[in-house]
Chain A
């Protein structure tokens, strides 16, 4: 997968997410889930996928419970599998494309530089903000403020949110300062030449398009 051009990887990611959103029948949803769950270990992503489940599984469980109470078991299963597929497809997409590659792909597709910069910078600062959250949590816990996820601690979370917001504003201010002093607003920016797409890229794009068309066609027929 990594050998493919970033533009193709971006296209494949969007295509798979769109296919998940466009399909409804249980057979197709289960087939998509099986495909994604086979792909994840093949791409060597089993460990980070396992870690991401800690966040996504509770959400899937909530959707399952709410739809079970509001509708019936069949609908609850369908909605949960669909949400799972959406998470899995997005996970594979983001793991296979770094912020740098995404920026390169978007620039090669002539997306305006300001938009590309904003999008990729936001992605890059996610780990930094994660580190800030850990630092704030440690500092407040060391003051005796219990910030573990428990119902009784809900009132304590202002001690996490307020310093985080404050630091995010400071960082945004400093980032704007750095961008300005490093020439972000200059007009004559160098256009990075984009590489040519190879036979492998074209083959992957064609195969993915065929697969997704087949899934959508099958879904429209109502599955098995």
Chain B
């Protein structure tokens, strides 16, 4: 199905740098391949080769031989690959561009010029295979993350491709949605489709695949069965090796920094948060866990004063957060949201990190210079100082975004999904940072559905289910394993 011989590729017409370097690969019909690689390892680039986007869309320099489904990649455009190879892109907001799920499913079929009756029959068949019928008339942009991924897969599967390529399908999904997508991929594979899943999350779906390929620096580091890949995944920075953390006994005498009292949020007649109460003490490392859509981000927005509670209140060192000027809240509670690109507006990393510090200085709330220096050292920002934040890797961007918040010396740091879309090397680094900040008395609250990360870094877990806090626990190691999302 896929045959690569000495394949190298560079996005620049006159290399170096080579993003892919001397790749030899043969994938046979019916294989289920997991293609692993850390950020920047070249796995998305390789996925683009499989349907001809490289070289026809990106240009650049392609060396060596590549053929997919018997078609030479160098001479076959992506549109000619359409009936044979389906590619599901990582960014579902871009992949799904039609006005409704029905027209989304029909788009590729219309591109093939199929008769309207055939388009309708394939759309209905897809709805029988995947649970989509109830979504058919909804706009894709209004769907949840899991539903979007499902529709993106279906939009390609309708074309009955012989090879299905998925670029990071699990990156932004919570465990129940991961389980759903995993089951669908198993079904697709058992129907005879060749599957290639490019990922950097090593998850339970490894049990489903027949073969693992590990990319490192644009070359294949490992190609073999899943049961022998772990050491290579660790060496390539895909599986994090978390340092053991100390689990101090809860200290009821430690200073209370943040109090959430009967917090309730109602919007358009719907209760999003209901009677949520907890306190955060100095130096704690706390995880808030929960499925997509249970109100985690709404809670974060209340904690940072961005939303006004319908009932109850949030107190920071005894003072209500809502109603305080933005700079006063930021000097006490630092929030970093999921997408680092939402923050960047300066041309240099240095200016970006110091933007908040300078703002606080202009209001007479400047943090100590020694703290800013400490943050630069802890977050290893200096090598990036003169670079443009837009040109960094995803991991570096996240590091700069977190550092720019930490530099303002807030007593409480809130990180919303800090590991989403990040590789193992970054997650490991983040665990180290949490430990270091905790030692310096900073309280860290991590909102995540990355259970492994939460287990490795936090000493206290809060579980949010349907807007209610159902568990607040500092469990011993064995007890933590019992804490699971209800699917």
B77 CB contacts on chain A under 8 angstroms: 185
11 A-B Cβ contacts within 8 A? Answer: A121-B97, A124-B97, A127-B141, A139-B343, A140-B342, A144-B331, A145-B326, A177-B57, A179-B97, A186-B79, A189-B110
A162 CB contacts on chain B under 8 angstroms: 344-345
Question: Is there contact, CB below 8 Å, between B345 and A163?
Answer: yes
Question: Is there contact, CB below 8 Å, between B325 and A146?
Answer: yes
Known: A177-B53, A178-B94, A183-B82. 20 other contacts (CB 8 A): A121-B97, A138-B301, A140-B345, A141-B306, A142-B304, A143-B355, A143-B404, A145-B356, A146-B327, A159-B345, A167-B341, A176-B57, A177-B57, A178-B97, A183-B108, A183-B112, A184-B79, A185-B77, A188-B113, A189-B110
Q: Digitize A137-159: 1 where CB-to-B-CB distance is under 8 Å, 0 elsewhere.
A: 01111111110000000000011
Asked if A170 CB lies within 8 Å of chain B CBs, one says yes
Question: Is there contact, CB below 8 Å, between B325 and A180?
Answer: no
Task: Please report whether the interface of chain A is mostly helix, strand, loop or mixed according to DSSP.
Answer: helix
B95 CB contacts on chain A under 8 angstroms: 178, 182
What's the interface size class on A, roughly? Answer: 35 or more
Q: Which residue of A lies closest to B156 (CB)?
A: A182
B334 CB contacts on chain A under 8 angstroms: 142-143
Question: Is there contact, CB below 8 Å, between B79 and A170?
Answer: no
Q: Which residue of A lies closest to B359 (CB)?
A: A144
Question: Is there contact, CB below 8 Å, between B91 and A174?
Answer: yes
Residues of chain B from 42 to 68 with CB closer than 8 A to chain A in the complex: 51, 53, 57
Q: Digitize A101-120: 1 where CB-to-B-CB distance is under 8 Å, 0 elsewhere.
A: 00100000000000000001
Asked if B115 CB lies within 8 Å of chain A CBs, one says yes
A186 CB contacts on chain B under 8 angstroms: 79, 82, 111-113
Which 5 pairs across A and B sit closest by C-beta, in order of nearness? Answer: A183-B111, A144-B330, A188-B113, A174-B94, A100-B99
Asked if A51 CB lies within 8 Å of chain B CBs, one says no
Q: Digitize B85-120: 1 where CB-to-A-CB distance is under 8 Å, 0 elsewhere.
A: 001010101110111100100011111111110010
Q: Which residue of B lies closest to A101 (CB)?
A: B99
Question: Is there contact, CB below 8 Å, between B306 and A100?
Answer: no
Q: Which residue of B lies closest to A123 (CB)?
A: B99
Asked if B390 CB lies within 8 Å of chain A CBs, one says yes
A185 CB contacts on chain B under 8 angstroms: 77, 79
Which residue of B51, B112, B141, B342 contacts A139 across the interface (Cβ within 8 Å)?
A: B342
B337 CB contacts on chain A under 8 angstroms: 135, 138-139, 142
Tell me the smallest distance from the CB of B96 to a CB of chain A, in Å.
8
B116 CB contacts on chain A under 8 angstroms: 190, 192-193
CA–CA, A163 and B340, complex, Å: 10
Tell me the smallest distance from the CB of B235 to a CB of chain A, in Å.
31
CA–CA, A140 and B346, complex, Å: 12
Question: Is there contact, CB below 8 Å, between B141 and A182?
Answer: no
Q: Digitize A48-85: 1 where CB-to-B-CB distance is under 8 Å, 0 elsewhere.
A: 00000000000000000000000000000000000000
Asked if A136 CB lies within 8 Å of chain B CBs, one says yes
CA–CA, A182 and B97, complex, Å: 11
Asked if A98 CB lies within 8 Å of chain B CBs, one says yes
Question: Is there contact, CB below 8 Å, between A189 and B113?
Answer: yes
CA–CA, A185 and B53, complex, Å: 13
Residue from A100, A103, A142, A144 whose CB has the most chain B CB atoms within 10 Å: A142
CA–CA, A141 and B405, complex, Å: 12
Which residue of B82, B99, B339 contacts A124 across the interface (Cβ within 8 Å)?
A: B99
Asked if B295 CB lies within 8 Å of chain A CBs, one says no
Q: Which residue of B lies closest to A142 (CB)?
A: B335
Question: Is there contact, CB below 8 Å, between A170 and B341?
Answer: yes
Tell me the smallest distance from the CB of A104 to a CB of chain B, in Å.
9
Question: Is there contact, CB below 8 Å, between A142 and B82?
Answer: no
Q: Which residue of B lies closest to A173 (CB)?
A: B94
Q: Which residue of A lies closest to B139 (CB)?
A: A124
A166 CB contacts on chain B under 8 angstroms: 341, 344, 390
A177 CB contacts on chain B under 8 angstroms: 53, 57, 89, 94
CA–CA, A136 and B337, complex, Å: 9
CA–CA, A158 and B344, complex, Å: 10
Asked if B408 CB lies within 8 Å of chain A CBs, one says yes
Question: Is there contact, CB below 8 Å, between B79 and A180?
Answer: yes
Q: Which residue of A lies closest to B328 (CB)?
A: A144
Q: Which residue of B lies closest to A143 (CB)?
A: B356
CA–CA, A186 and B80, complex, Å: 8
CA–CA, A135 and B344, complex, Å: 13
